[in-house]
Structure 1
């Protein structure tokens, strides 16, 4: 098994575990999930960087720049990874401050259900039920109009296949 394949598997596991942790109701688990997703993203950038090579320093050893450039590693993905690490650190510090404040105010780490969210969810369920009832009524009207139109023209609106289904 190659190292690249191992890194791909590790990256996939980190993404899966991170997303799973982010979906929990505990703020600490959300923070851990965020850190896992950040590390998986860093591995993804590393994998997409291409082959490894020499350090990107130009020395005067008698070779042309083109020869040296072919052997060098691309420094851009490494810079992107460093930037991602700093951004992850900053957001993690912010999340830690939010978790600490939540703990100090409520002595709890769990995110509670919001009353407004519950009422919106109930309203959406009612609208969905009404829409389903309207769709059924519309289907009945369309079927009856098809049968009426076909009877007017002396044809049966229902084909043999539709009769067999009923």
Structure 2
């Protein structure tokens, strides 16, 4: 299962990097979201994909799941949701003001391509 998760995380990182290197602001925001999802899966996989019981069973439980990676991922999901919402608001406002989402135009470069 860890091998499958490693491939999925690699594909998410690869796609996020490709999208973040594009010129469209919306693609950059989507790439940032995919990168955060890849990081969440990476944290979950590094914490161990065990099939155990609930995290808190008592002192003499034979197997249990580690609650720390799950707590870290829940916190990271909330933070990434807030950052993505902020990016979308800033991108929408930039599009209203300038009429484009091309990064070269937003930087003030009028490219001759």
> TM-score with structure 1 length normalisation?
0.60
What residue in structure 2 maps to residue 50 of structure 1?
48
Aligned residues: 107
- The partner residue of 1:108 within 93, 100, 107 is 100
Aligned-partner Cα distance in 2 for 1:92–1:29: 12
**Residue 82 of structure 2 is aligned to residue 90 of structure 1:** yes
Q: Match for residue 72 of structure 1?
A: 64
More helix by share: 1
Q: Tell me how large the CA RMSD over aligned residues is.
A: 1.7
Q: Which residue of 1 aligns with 2:6?
A: 8
Compare relative contact order (CA 8 Å, sep 6+) and give the higher one, 1 or 2. 2
The corresponding residue for 2:22 is 24
Q: Which structure: larger Rg?
A: 1
For residues 11-45 of structure 1, give each alpha carbon's deviation from its aligned partner in whole angstroms, at most 9, with x where no partner exists. 00000110111111111000010011000001100
Give the unaligned 5+ runs of structure 2.
none
- Alpha-carbon distance between aligned partners in 2 of 1:51 and 1:108, rounded to the nearest angstrom: 44
Indicate conservation of the 8 Å contact 2:57/2:64, yes or no.
no
* TM-score, normalised via structure 2 length: 0.87
Instruction: Tell me by how many angstroms 1:115 deviates.
Output: 6.1
Q: Which deviations, in whole Å up to 9, do the C-alpha atoms of 1:122-157 show, x marking residues without a partner?
A: xxxxxxxxxxxxxxxxxxxxxxxxxxxxxxxxxxxx
